[in-house]
Amino acid sequence: MRKLIVSLFVLAIVSGCSQGMGNHSHDQIKNSGGYCKDCSVGYVDGKEVKCSSCYEMKKDKTGWCEGCKAGMVNGKKTSCKGCVDSAKSGEKCKSCKG
């Protein structure tokens, strides 16, 4: 019984997410895309993304990352949050007139 408990404990530790181990490998995430909150790493189009907000932005091709102060509108990078907000609302950007 003791061996069973120890084995289950070891299995639980190994099945957690970690670099190169666990219930998914980073190669699998890298190839298929995805984000691992435990490891704080994601992949979009095979490129590593460390920030979850940037991951969502790059995956959706439109969005804003407050931490990085970076945005994307229809797949084009922008440093204007107003342009991102405008893209979502369908209005012209009032911040930079873009």
pTM: 0.62
Question: Which amino acid appears at position 2 of this protein?
Answer: R
Sequence spans of domains, the chain: 1-50, 52-98
For every residue of 2-52, DSSP letters joined together read HHHHHHHHHHHHHTS-BTTBSSS-HHHHHHH-EEETTTTEEEETTEEE--H
- For 18-63, how does the pLDDT look when each residue is reduced to its tens digit (9 = 90+)? 444 445 666 777 777 888 888 888 888 888 888 899 999 999 999 9
pLDDT bin (cut points 50, 70, 90) of residue 12 is very low
